[in-house]
Amino acid sequence: MIADQPPEDIPRSNGELVFEAPWESRAFGLTAAYLEASGQDWAAYRAHLMAAIADLPDATPYYEAWVVALDRLLATDGLAARGP
């Protein structure tokens, strides 16, 4: 139910940090750098991001979906990072 979503997910004030943890900024920067290096624009990545958000549970933190999408983009391009 939409009405069941916790309202505290929508803060009322301005001024929060762009990134909430260093790994989030790293994930963002890696994505931007990889797209640039591989000559792709953000649309190539965004399709994976939309799909990842749709596939994962609604409560999944945004940047976790981001990393899943980045992994999928890299896999599409034939790049598979080693575990974990």
Partner 1 sequence: MSDSHGHHPKPKTPTQQRVEAIEALLVERGLITSDVVDAIVETYEHDVGPMNGARVVAKARVDPEYRARLLEDGTSAVGELGFGGAEGEHLVVLENTEDVHHVVVCTLCSCYPWPVLGLPPHWYKSFAYRSRMVREPRAVLAEFGTTVPDDVEMQVWDSSAEVRYMVLPLAPDDVAGRSEDELAGLVTRDHMIGVVR
Size of the site for partner 1 (CB under 8 A): 50
Residue 71, interface with partner 1 (CB under 8 A)? yes
C-alpha 36/C-alpha 49 separation (Å) is: 17
| Structure tokens that stand for 42 in this block | 């953000």
Q: How far is the CB of 78 from partner 1 (least distance, A)?
A: 11
Half-sphere exposure of 69 (CA within 13 A, CB side): 29
Query: How many C-beta atoms lie closer than 10 Å to residue 45's C-beta?
Result: 19
Residues that bind partner 1 (CB under 8 A): 2, 5-7, 9-12, 14, 16, 18-20, 23, 25-30, 32-34, 36-38, 41-43, 46-47, 49-50, 53-54, 58-59, 62-64, 67, 70-71, 74, 79-84
